[in-house]
Amino acid sequence: MRYIRLFFCCFLIFSSSVRAEEPEAQKQRPKATASLEIGADSLERRYIRPRLRFDFPVSFGLFYLDSDYYQRMNGQLQGEVDFWIDLGFYKTLSRQWQLTIDLNHFCRHTTSFDYPHVLDANELLAEFWFDLSLFRLGLGGGTFLGGNAGYKSLVILNIDWHRILDSEFSFMAETKLVDFKEAFYEFELSIALDPSVDILARYTKHYAYPKTTYLGLRFNSYGKTGEFIDKVMFRGGVFPGDETQKVFAENEFKLSFFRSLDKQVLLTLNGNIPIKRKDSFFGTFHPEEIKYLTTLEYEKKIGSELYGVVCGRYAVHMPVDVAQHFYSSLGVGIGLKNQSHFKKLEKPVRFSVYAGHNFSHKYDTALRLGVNTVAKAMNLGVDIQAELNPNRFTNLVEAFVEFGKEVKFRPYIAFEWTEFLDSDQTGTRLLFGIDLTTWK
């Protein structure tokens, strides 16, 4: 164990002794990347894997935040969810050598069945990379901080080979040797249908999990939103006075298909994970549920500044680590809006309205109205959102500041008021946080 820690300390000392520089290639590194995988695994379950990465260049290197998770589901939407949060630092040492330092947090939860002992681990590692543009080789090591997995040391080997021999095929391999006695790995072969869509096959052995094969389709963006991905968003927030939830994390992908001058098809995938409060705000962070909202819209321009929409929406709420059945609802309806993406600050006044039939609770209606400044280095705005169905009436008023170019930073503070129509109860709460968004 002490040799691994000494090895890691040598990495840190060596990296601090290297002269800080920012070569032209590093200045051009992407500010945001995203991928979304959908497919099936060898246990005959569907899986979804959204991944977001935000890069923050500085004069002496680059910091990054990577959010990645696997969710596997059977027909009852039961299965494991592996969450990975990576906070890292990247530094160019020479033309072909780089160094990365990462703190990776891993935890596994389940949906719709009991899982009283959550598996979690925190990897602290450093890795040297030999980079030949399309071929990269990484070797490093580190240790584990806290967690309940019981591991102590870690050695890691990575191979990334893009567009093998100028073909559409790419290969990726990652092998971790833990405590010099147990190996975990991930091997992937993919073929590019076009620059932003891959078909992939992946063979893995992850922490405390059986060997699994995945077959899937991946939409991706390398440094900018791709041909299909119009929007990538991460939203985090805090509920300072709520008795049941303390924070939440939300991500959203918006994809467009069959685009022409006056019409397109939009697919929006939104995931939201509220975290239980429990006894202490700074205690354990345990998800309460995973909420997905999938929206499919056919949008057609019907005026100079007006769009008509035919829409289908599917919502599902999956309880985490408890044996409770999921709740879902399906609805169809129509709507009007004055721009394709409500959250994009293209006009000083934005709106969208929706009304439709829901097969679970009769009807859904929604109204969104936004007022803001535009085309400034820092824009100010207020959004009002209202949703009504037979069970509840929810209102949200949000004030925000937005700045940034490739990545839009939007700190916000909001007030939410909900009336539960089936029980004559009401609830209010304050929330604040930040959005990170990249638009095509």
Q: How does DSSP assign 361-397, residue by residue?
A: TEEEEEEEEEEE--SSSEEEEEEEEEEE-SSEEEEEE
User: Are 131 and 258 in a shared domain?
Assistant: no
Shared-domain flag, residues 235 and 198: no
Tokens of 26: 């590093």
Rounded distance, CA 76 to CA 326, Å?
Answer: 8
User: Which one has a higher pLDDT value, 230 or 125?
Assistant: 125
Q: What is the CATH number of the domain that holds 39?
A: 2.40.160.40
Three-state SS at 84:
strand
Instruction: Measure CA 160 to chain center.
Output: 22
Domain boundary among 221, 240, 260: 221
Run of H or E residues at 132: none
What is the Cα–Cα distance from 84 to 120, expressed in whole angstroms? Answer: 10
User: Are 290 and 81 a contacting pair, CB within 8 Å?
Assistant: yes
Q: What is the pLDDT of residue 28?
A: 52
Between residues 26 and 307, which one has the greater pLDDT? 307
Tell me, yes or no, whether 310 and 416 share the same domain. yes
CA-based angle 222:40:248, to the nearest 5?
Answer: 60
Residue 335 has pLDDT above 60, yes or no: yes
**Position with higher pLDDT, 9 vs 196:** 196
Which of the listed residues 198, 221, 244 is the one where a domain comes to its end? 221
**β partners of residue 171:** 161, 189
Whether residue 254 sits in one domain with residue 399 = yes
Q: Name the least confident of 11-20, 60-69, 138-147, 404-413.
A: 11-20
Q: Distance between CA 161 and CA 164 in Å, rounded?
A: 6
Q: What percentage of the chain reaches a pLDDT higher than 90?
A: 70
Q: In the block, which residue shows the tokens 């006056």?
A: 262
- Which residues, 6+ apart, have CB-to-CB distance to 108 below 8 Å? 80, 81, 82, 83, 118, 119, 120, 207, 208, 209
Confidence of residue 415 (pLDDT cuts 50, 70, 90): very high
The residue among 5 and 336 whose pLDDT is bigger is 336
Q: What is the DSSP string of 26-52?
A: HHTS-SEEEEEEEEEETTS-EEEEEEE
CB 394 within 8 A of CB 427: no
Give me the pLDDT at residue 425, please: 86
Query: Residues 133-160: what's their mean pLDDT?
Result: 92
Instruction: Tell whether 29 and 104 lie within a shared domain.
Output: yes
For the segment 220-237, what is each residue's pLDDT rounded down to a tens digit? 876 444 567 888 899 999
pLDDT, mean of residues 301-328: 93
Question: Based on the domain organization, do 212 and 233 belong to the same domain?
Answer: no
Instruction: Say if residue 176 is in the same domain as residue 55.
Output: yes
Q: How far apart are the first and last CA of the chain?
A: 47
- Say what the pLDDT of residue 360 is: 92
Q: At residue 17, does pLDDT exceed 90? A: no
Residue 211 sits in the same domain as residue 246: no
pLDDT given for residue 386 in this prediction? 97
Q: How confident is the model at residue 33 (pLDDT cuts 50, 70, 90)?
A: confident
Could you give phi then psi for residue 12, rounded to 5 degrees? -65, -40
Instruction: Note the pLDDT of residue 280.
Output: 61
For the beta carbon of residue 110, count every other beta carbon within 10 angstroms: 19
394 near 386, Cβ under 8 Å?
yes
pLDDT tier at 440, thresholds 50, 70, 90: confident
3-state secondary structure of 169: strand
Mean pLDDT of 267-277: 92
Length of the chain in residues, anyone? 440
pLDDT reading at 30 higher than 70: no
Q: What's the pTM? A: 0.84
Nearest residue to 8 (alpha-carbon basis) of 145, 142, 158: 142
The total number of structural domains in the chain stands at: 2
Determine what percent of the chain is predicted with pLDDT higher than 70.
90
Helical H segments across 195-241, by residue range: none
Domain around 410: 229-439
Taking CA atoms, 82 is separated from 113, 117, 146, 279, in Å, by 15, 14, 18, 25
- Is pLDDT of 150 > 50? yes
**Within 13 Å of residue 19, how many CA atoms lie on the same side as its CB?**
3
Domain shared by 177 and 279, yes or no: no
Q: Is the pLDDT of residue 304 over 60?
A: yes
Distance of CA 165 to the CA centre of its chain: 32
Tokens for 3, please give them: 């040799």
Report how far residue 366's alpha carbon sits from residue 419's, in angstroms, rounded to the nearest whole number: 15
Average pLDDT over residues 152-166: 95
Residue with tokens 């840190």: 12
Query: What is the structure's pLDDT at 277?
Result: 83
- Cα dihedral value 368, 373, 379, 385, nearest 10: -10
Measured torsion, CA atoms of residues 423, 426, 432, 438, in degrees rounded to the nearest 10: 50
Beta bridge partners of 68: 51, 84
- pLDDT tens track for 348-390: 999 999 999 999 999 999 999 999 999 899 999 999 999 999 9
Q: Does residue 16 have a pLDDT over 50?
A: no
Same domain, 217 and 235: no
Query: Which of 203, 221, 239 is where one domain is finished?
Result: 221
Q: Which residue has the higher pLDDT, 285 or 85?
A: 85
Per the prediction, the chain carries an average pLDDT of 88
Distance CA 61, CA 29 (A): 11
- 299 touches 354 (CB < 8 A): no
308 in the same domain as 330:
yes
Provide CB contacts within 8 A for 243, sequence distance 6+. Answer: 277
Residue 324 and residue 182 share a domain: no
Span 190-208, mean pLDDT? 93
Task: Report the DSSP beta bridge partners of residue 357.
Answer: 332, 363
pLDDT at 309: 97
More confident residue, 78 or 284: 78
pLDDT at residue number 284: 66
Name the strand (E) or helix (H) holding 8: helix 2-17
